[in-house]
Amino acid sequence: MIRLENIVKTYQMGEEEVRALQGVSLHVPPGDMIAVIGPSGSGKSTLMNMIGCLDVPDSGQYFLDGIAVDRLDEDELANIRNRKIGFIFQQFNLLSKLNAFENVELPLIYRGMSPKERREKAEAALVRVGLGDRMKHKPTQLSGGQQQRVAVARALAGDPPIILADEPTGALDSKSGDVFMETLRELNETGITIVLITHDMNIARQARHYVSIRDGMIVEQGVN
């Protein structure tokens, strides 16, 4: 499903040239759950941007479901993001004026779904993460763990085959983090491919596989 071959990405930071990725190759088969672990500045966020079609490499190739992503234009990349990838971020990125249902529904509006279809999908996603009785609650009325589950529901609502989670437990206490990881494992068992970006080895150990990245290069891969 996800295949990166010799990916190189360089950024210009003032007068300094930073090689964020230096020939990274990675294969993630359908239905896998893999953790990409590394310290700050290791290149894991850049790798996330590549996998999530948020950026394109300077050289190398990225294939998603056999499609050469590095050759797509911005509109095509946006379509791939909307159809194939659900994003979960550390800070939840929920809109405070909207309730849980409205936060989950919003990206479906952008996809042009009918009101009936998006209502059904948003409600089903919230029930799936155990928040069927919290749909009308706004973010300030929810705990951190519940807010993160709203973010999971938002990622799930469009039925993406891939979920990309960027430091998703970073803003949670340990108990809420454990509950969240259990939710991810349950989703993975239904066939969803999950790529988890983290700096926490305890979190990485809960994935099926892990990849360790440092100085823009993969230095270790393993099975948990």
pLDDT tens-digit readout, 43-80: 998 999 999 999 889 999 999 999 999 888 999 998 88
* 74 vs 56: CA distance, rounded Å: 10
Q: In what order do the strands lie in the sheet with 59-64?
A: 16-28, 2-13, 59-64, 67-68
Q: What is the pLDDT of residue 70?
A: 83
* 120 vs 98: CA distance, rounded Å: 18
pLDDT at residue 40 is higher than 90:
no
All residues at 6 or more sequence positions from 186 whose CB lies less than 8 Å from its CB, including other chains: none
Tens of pLDDT along 87-115?
998 888 899 999 999 999 998 998 888 99
Look up the pTM and report it.
Answer: 0.89
Q: Which residue has the higher pLDDT, 135 or 172?
A: 135
Burial of 86 (0-12, 13-18, 19+ CB in 10 A): buried
Question: 151 and 180 in contact (C-beta within 8 Å)?
Answer: no
CATH number (3.40.630.30, 1.10.3470.10, 1.25.40.390, 3.40.50.300) of 31-56+74-223 reads 3.40.50.300
* 91 vs 217: CA distance, rounded Å: 27
pLDDT tier, 168 (very low <50, low <70, confident <90, very high otherwise)? confident
Q: What is the pLDDT of residue 127?
A: 94
Q: Which residue has the higher pLDDT, 171 or 142?
A: 142
Strand partners, 196: 35, 165
By C-alpha distance, which of 78, 140, 133 is closest to 110? Answer: 78
Q: What is the pLDDT of residue 62?
A: 95
- Section 145-157 average pLDDT: 92
pLDDT at residue 12 is higher than 90:
no
* 66 vs 132: CA distance, rounded Å: 37
User: What mean pLDDT value characterizes the chain?
Assistant: 92
Q: Give me the DSSP letters along 119-178.
A: HHHHHHHHHHTT-TT-TT--GGGS-HHHHHHHHHHHHHTT--SEEEEESTTTTS-HHHHH
Q: What is the pLDDT of residue 132?
A: 94
- Section 38-43 average pLDDT: 90
Find how far residue 167's CA is from the centre of its chain: 9
Q: What is the pLDDT of residue 179?
A: 85
- Section 157-176 average pLDDT: 88
* 186 vs 178: CA distance, rounded Å: 12
- Section 179-202 average pLDDT: 91
What are the residue ranges spanned by the domains of the chain?
Answer: 31-56+74-223
pLDDT at residue 9 is higher than 90:
yes
